[in-house]
Amino acid sequence: MIRVEIAKLLRRPRTWVAIGLLCLLPIIVAFFLKLSPLAPRPGEGPAFLSAVVSNGSLFPAAALGIVLPLFLPVAVAVIAGDAVAGEAASGTLRYLLIRPVGRTRLLVAKLVSILVFLGLAVSLVAGSAYVVGVSLFGSNPVLTSLSGTVITPADLARRTMLVLLYVAWSMVGVASIALLLSTLTDSSLGAALGALAALVLSQVLVTLDAADVVQPYLPTRYWLSWVDIFRDPILWHDVERGVLVQGGYVVVLLGISWAGFMTRDITS
């Protein structure tokens, strides 16, 4: 079933359109940076961009930073929101279940295919950004971390890889919310919008001092902590928190999805 789900994901035009758009966005930013005589001042615009102009090989990390706050969550919410609701709406859900595919197995397969999508999306964004970054800005072997110390190209590759994993994992919380809603409704649009509404709420609360009690548990609270991976030494504190918070969302929300889906009447 997992293989079937991945095959369905890869054969769906929408998957590639979403990934294509995700890759395109950082490239557009890169061209503007190249054409403009002024480099953005440190601290202006998306994190990290000022450093990219002097070194194209930092661009993959910057590109992930560009798609992380909005575009990647939207893509993930759309794909995960469609996972079960889309099958229900098209009627294929009932035929899968009487094939029979166990309901647990179906959910697991959907989750795995979402993870595959995430992996593909962040790798291709980073890959295309590397090509564009190096060809537009050149690659400078002497690199400095955000803390000012020198890091080697091998170290940069390792850190970029960590950023990639962290960004992908940050999206798993979004995916869980969308997947939960997707098991509750037959409308994939509703599930995707519901997940995005949850994220917007989380973002609002993150910036609201009055909500500081719940802030450490908000799904978007540690998203931007990936920047800490480029400090020297790496500031693990927030990154670890981020990984744990996302993990908590995955376990709890998928547990609820599973419990609800096992006993739900499939009337679509």
Partner 1 sequence: MIATQALTKRFGAVTAVDSVDLSVNEGDRYGFLGPNGSGKTTTVRMLLGLVFPTSGTAQVMGVDVPNGLPHVLPSIGSLVEGPAAYGHLSARSNLTLLDAAGPGGGRQSRRRRVDEALEQVGLAGVGRRPVKAYSLGMRQRLGLAAALLRTPKLLILDEPTNGLDPQGSKEIRDLLLTMNRAGTTLFVSSHLLAEVESLCTRVGVLDQGRLVLQEELDQLRAPTGRTVLRTPDVDHAVALLDGRITARDGDRLVVLGGSPEDLVAHLAAAGVRISEISAERVTLEDVVLSVTSHGNDHIAASP
Q: Is 212 helix (H, G, I), strand (E, B) or coil?
A: coil
Which residue's CB is nearer to partner 1, number 4 or number 200? 4
Q: Rule CB under 8 A: which of 77-106 touch partner 1?
A: 90-92, 94-102
Q: Which residue has the tokens 């547990």?
A: 255
* Residue 176 tokens, joined: 């869980």
Q: Rule CB under 8 A: which of 149-178 touch partner 1?
A: none
If you write DSSP's letter for every residue of 96-156 in order, what string do you get? Answer: HHTTT--HHHHHHHHHHHHHHHHHHHHHHHHHHHHHHHHHHH---S-EE-TTS-EE-HHHH
Which residue's CB is nearer to partner 1, number 207 or number 263? 263
Q: Does 28 bind partner 1 (CB under 8 A)?
A: no
Cβ atoms 46, 65 nearer than 8 A? yes
* Residue 255 tokens, joined: 């547990």
Please state the closest distance from residue 26 (CB atom) to partner 1, in A: 28
φ/ψ (deg, to 5) at 92: -75, -20
Looking at the DSSP bridge assignments, the partners of residue 150 are 144
Please state the closest distance from residue 14 (CB atom) to partner 1, in A: 9
Q: Does 7 bind partner 1 (CB under 8 A)?
A: yes
Q: Does 119 bind partner 1 (CB under 8 A)?
A: no
Which residue's CB is nearer to partner 1, number 142 or number 266? 266
Please state the closest distance from residue 183 (CB atom) to partner 1, in A: 14
Which residue's CB is nearer to partner 1, number 7 or number 150? 7
Who's near 100: CB < 8 A, 6+ residues apart?
A: none
Please state the closest distance from residue 133 (CB atom) to partner 1, in A: 34
Residue window 235-264: x/- pattern of binding to partner 1, with contact defined by CB under 8 A? ----------------------------x-
Which residue's CB is nearer to partner 1, number 20 or number 216? 20
Which residue's CB is nearer to partner 1, number 42 or number 91? 91
Q: Is 151 helix (H, G, I), strand (E, B) or coil?
A: strand
Which candidate, 68, 65, 67, places its Cα nearest to that of 47? 65
Q: Strands, DSSP E only, in the chain?
A: 143-144, 150-151
Binding-site size for partner 1 (CB under 8 A) equals 24
Who's near 40: CB < 8 A, 6+ residues apart?
A: 33, 49, 50, 53
Q: Does 267 bind partner 1 (CB under 8 A)?
A: yes
Interface positions with partner 1 (CB under 8 A): 1, 3-4, 7-8, 11-13, 90-92, 94-102, 263, 265-267
